[in-house]
Amino acid sequence: MADQPAPPVDDNPWDALRRFTNARIALGRAGSSLPTAPLLAFNLSHAQARDAVHQPLDTAVLHDALRAAGFETLDAASAAPDRDHYLRRPDLGRKLGDTSAASIAAHAGATSEPPEIVFVVADGLSAFAAARHAVPFLTTLRPKLDGWRIGPVVVARQARVALGDGIGELLRARIVVVLIGERPGLSSPDSLGIYLTYEPRTGRSDAERNCISNVRPEGLTYEAAAFKLHYLLNEARRLKLTGVGLKDESDALLATSANPDALEN
- In this predicted model, which residue has the larger pLDDT, 256 or 253? 253
pLDDT value of position 262: 44
> Residue 241: pLDDT band by 50, 70, 90 thresholds?
very high
What is the overall mean pLDDT for the chain?
Answer: 89
- Tell me if 67 is assigned to some domain: yes
Q: Is the pLDDT of residue 263 over 90?
A: no
- Rounded to an integer, the average pLDDT of 114-129 is 96
pTM across the whole model: 0.82
pLDDT value of position 36: 81
- Rounded to an integer, the average pLDDT of 126-144 is 96
pLDDT digits (tens, 9 = 90+) for 164-223: 999 999 999 999 999 999 987 766 889 999 999 999 999 999 999 999 999 999 899 999
- Tell me if 265 is assigned to some domain: no
Amino acid at 35: P
> Residue 265: pLDDT band by 50, 70, 90 thresholds?
very low
- Tell me if 40 is assigned to some domain: no
Which residues make up each annotated binding site? 161, 182, 211
- In this predicted model, which residue has the larger pLDDT, 4 or 208? 208
Percent pLDDT > 90 in the chain is 68
Q: Is the pLDDT of residue 259 over 90?
A: no
- Rounded to an integer, the average pLDDT of 94-120 is 95
Cα–Cα distance for residue pair 222/9, rounded to 1 Å: 39
Cα–Cα distance for residue pair 192/131, rounded to 1 Å: 10
- Tell me if 174 is assigned to some domain: yes
- Rounded to an integer, the average pLDDT of 147-174 is 97
**What separation in angstroms does the CA of 11 have from each of 24, 33, 38, 124?**
14, 13, 12, 39
pLDDT value of position 22: 72
Residue 119's domain spans which residues? 54-246
- Tell me if 66 is assigned to some domain: yes
> Residue 54: pLDDT band by 50, 70, 90 thresholds?
low
pLDDT value of position 10: 74
The total domain count for the chain is 1
- Tell me if 197 is assigned to some domain: yes
Whether residue 156 contacts residue 109, with contact meaning beta carbons closer than 8 Å, is answered with no
Helix or strand holding residue 211 (H, E): strand 209-215
The CATH number covering residue 110 comes to 3.40.50.11240
pLDDT value of position 15: 74
Cα–Cα distance for residue pair 209/246, rounded to 1 Å: 9
- Tell me if 15 is assigned to some domain: no
pLDDT value of position 56: 85
Percent pLDDT > 70 in the chain is 91
- In this predicted model, which residue has the larger pLDDT, 4 or 140? 140
Which residues make up each annotated binding site for adenosylcob(III)alamin? 161, 182, 211
Beta-carbon contacts of 244 under 8 Å, excluding residues fewer than 6 positions away, are 207, 208
- Tell me if 214 is assigned to some domain: yes
Beta-carbon contacts of 111 under 8 Å, excluding residues fewer than 6 positions away, are 171
pLDDT digits (tens, 9 = 90+) for 21-41: 777 777 777 877 888 887 777
Using alpha carbons, select from 120, 128, 122, 135 the residue that is nearest to residue 54. 128
- Rounded to an integer, the average pLDDT of 38-48 is 75
